[in-house]
Amino acid sequence: MEKIIVRGGKRLKGRVRVHGAKNAVLPLIAASILPSRGDITIQDVPMLEDVKTITQVLSSLGISAELDEGKDTIRINAEHLSSTQAPYDLMRKMRASFLVMGPLLARKKHGRIPLPGGCAIGSRPIDQHLKGLEALGAEFEIGQGYIEGRVPDRLRGTKIYLDVASVGATQNIMMAAALAEGTTIIENAACEPENVDLANFINAMGGRVRGAGTDTIRIHGVDFLHGTEYCVIPDRIEAGTYMAAAAITRGEVFVEGALSDHLNPVIAKMREMGIEILEGENGVHVRADKPLKPVNVKTLPYPGFPTDMQSQMMALQLMAEGSSTLTETVFENRFMHVEEMKRMGAKMKIDGRSVMMEGGKPLSGATVRSTDLRAGAALVLLGLVAEGATEVTDLHHIDRGYVDLVGKLRSLGANIERVSDEEMKDDLKFQHSYA
Ligand SMILES: CC(=O)N[C@H]1[C@@H](OP(=O)(O)OP(=O)(O)OC[C@H]2O[C@@H](n3ccc(=O)[nH]c3=O)[C@H](O)[C@@H]2O)O[C@H](CO)[C@@H](O)[C@@H]1O
Ligand SMILES: C=C(OP(=O)(O)O)C(=O)O
């Protein structure tokens, strides 16, 4: 098993480039099932575990899908979509797997997919996905851990009101409606930038999606979609994570490629903490040479403060002298990292959907466990300022969402390494033999 060892005390300085957005590229790859002709090339693809998994899913459906790791590119041709059953061993690895259901129903009127499990942050139901797809004319059966969808006739456009502004449900419905007969209106749609990216991608393939980025999206169905070349938007959560890393170490970092328009709530809250942020053409400049001030934060659907920056913000709040609170309104169980942070000496108390913090207390390094991909990154951030060494385990979570987190932080001056247990044993042997 591998672990990250990080030793506190270094102020981060320099520049770091963000990659393409995980939460944009996954629906783009799922939507690549839709075109019945032509090649698709997507650039700025982050080579993350989830991206490799969904690429394997497309291959298992008979689609030609090739990742070019050297060029951060994926090439897809879905003309020979020969299967509508996705394999359990691949689909269970990530939450976004259910996004292939909408495109399969639109293309082949059938899809049989393992039920997506919950994960550390909550039960993560799919009722809104099913509500929308059924409204379009799909029928579902659940059994043996699978969900099977069929379209007895054809998908027909309709008006759909989402009870929850679900990012994934908005995406699944948008993709299915792209090839439906007539017009679909999604009300109370999720407004995230990743949904705008998906709409732009579908339109680049010949679709007709309007209003993405607002809470009402209109999709005029077309008969077929064709290939295209596309470039993914930058990852706003990866960018926010490096902004937090610069701030927590009181350093100065240029986060290259960050789109400040996608980071308004994060920038606003960091400025409230006294962090200097300059929004540039091709990135965001962060400098934190003054003591951090405590702030209160509440996560909300976009354009509110993103839940995917919740644990990283908590790490920052713990460095601000005084009392802070963080309220999580999007997921019902996204505080698993609090116990891990307390192992480092953090003064925190969970009260329902909120965490109360007494910040400014010195933290000590400890062995801690990543409980979800953002929590893992947040624990690394705390390790950057804790006394001594922090060991972060369960790195598969981090590998789902961050390209080379250790390498990027090292390039900014962090004292951080990623080691396997074997390397640790060899080290110990080496130390004993020369003690
Ligand atoms: C791959 C990807 O893009 N993941 C993002 C996506 O996840 P995902 O699309 O799964 O998140 P949703 O927006 O669907 O979930 C938001 C809330 O709605 C609830 N819900 C969702 C669907 C449903 O049918 N019924 C229902 O009740 C969920 O339990 C959760 O409490 O948006 C989340 C919220 O911004 C982010 O944290 C994830 O990083
Ligand atoms: C929760 C996240 O992703 P996923 O929906 O893939 O679990 C995330 O990116 O923070």
Antiparallel, parallel or unpaired: β 276-280 and 139-143? unpaired
Q: Is residue 308 lining ligand 2, measured as CB closer than 6 Å? A: yes
Annotated binding site for phosphoenolpyruvate: 22-23
Long-range contacts formed by 82-90: CB under 8 A, 24+ apart:
84/108, 84/110, 84/111, 84/112, 85/111, 85/112, 85/113, 86/57, 86/60, 86/61, 86/111, 86/112, 86/113, 86/114, 87/57, 87/60, 88/114, 88/145, 90/53, 90/56, 90/57, 90/60
Ligand 1 atom closest to Cα of 302?
A: 35
pLDDT tens, position by position, 371-416: 999 999 999 999 999 999 999 999 999 999 999 999 999 999 999 9
pLDDT at 417 over 80: yes
CA 411, CA 90: separation in Å to the nearest integer? 33
Please give the structure tokens belonging to residue 246.
């610069």
Closest CA to 373 of 308, 291, 303, 288: 308
Burial of 29 (0-12, 13-18, 19+ CB in 10 A): buried
- Give the length of the chain: 435
CA-CA distances (angstroms) from residue 26 to 20, 58, 223?
11, 11, 24
User: Crossing angle for the helix pair 167-177 and 127-135, nearest 10 degrees?
Assistant: 20
Q: State residue 317's pLDDT score.
A: 98
Q: Is residue 99 lining ligand 2, measured as CB closer than 6 Å? A: no
Report pTM.
0.96
Closest CA to 213 of 165, 276, 256: 165
Q: Which amino acid is at 285?
A: H
Q: Are 219 and 179 in contact (CB under 8 A)?
A: no
Q: Whose CA is nearest to atom 7 of ligand 2?
A: 95
Ligand 2 atom closest to Cα of 400?
A: 6
Q: Which whole number is the average pLDDT over 37-45? A: 98
Ligand 1 atom closest to Cα of 24?
A: 3
Q: How far is CA 417 from the centre of its chain?
A: 23
CA 169, CA 131: separation in Å to the nearest integer? 9
Annotated binding site: 22-23, 95, 124-128, 308, 330
pLDDT tens, position by position, 204-262: 999 999 999 999 999 999 999 999 999 999 999 999 999 999 999 999 999 999 999 99
Q: Is residue 96 lining ligand 2, measured as CB closer than 6 Å? A: yes
In this prediction, does ipTM exceed 0.85? Answer: yes
pLDDT at 435 over 60: no
pLDDT tens, position by position, 90-133: 888 887 889 999 999 999 999 999 988 667 788 889 999 999 99
Ligand 1 centroid, distance to 29 Cα (angstroms): 18
Q: State residue 91's pLDDT score.
A: 87
Q: Are 415 and 390 in contact (CB under 8 A)?
A: no
